[in-house]
Amino acid sequence: GQNIDQPTEMTATEGAIVQINCTYQTSGFNGLFWYQQHAGEAPTFLSYNVLDGLEEKGRFSSFLSRSKGYSYLLLKELQMKDSASYLCASHNDYKLSFGAGTTVTVRA
């Protein structure tokens, strides 16, 4: 089976940095996705890591360590619009296995 763990909630101030950790124990692992989901909306793609290391995309960066079964999503220069749920998902063959999601609240 698949086991994906991430924190339930995080709160941060506008302009700050937040790091969302994700640990996974899965079989047939291909890579790690991060999705963003605003309340009442569909998840949208943020990043996909296959190789170990950090990938930066504007204010968002994602890191993967395959040997440790660990990933994190780093959100920099937080804006109010970043308040959302962030979903970690392991990619196994055709399928994704999702964590329960981390709700990030950005305060002014």
CB nearer to other proteins: give 42 or 108: 42
Q: How far apart are CA 38 and CA 43, in angstroms?
A: 7
Contact characters 44-83, other proteins, x per CB under 8 A? xx--x-x---------------------------------
Question: How many residues belong to the chain?
Answer: 108
Do 11 and 75 form a contact (C-beta atoms < 8 A)?
no
Q: Which one of residues 38, 59, 68, 95 is an interface residue with other proteins (CB under 8 A)?
A: 95
CB nearer to other proteins: give 69 or 99: 99
Residue that the structure tokens 């890579």 belong to = 31
Q: How far apart are CA 95 and CA 76, in angstroms?
A: 30
Binding site for other proteins (CB under 8 A): 4, 8, 31, 33, 41-45, 48, 50, 87, 89, 91, 94-101
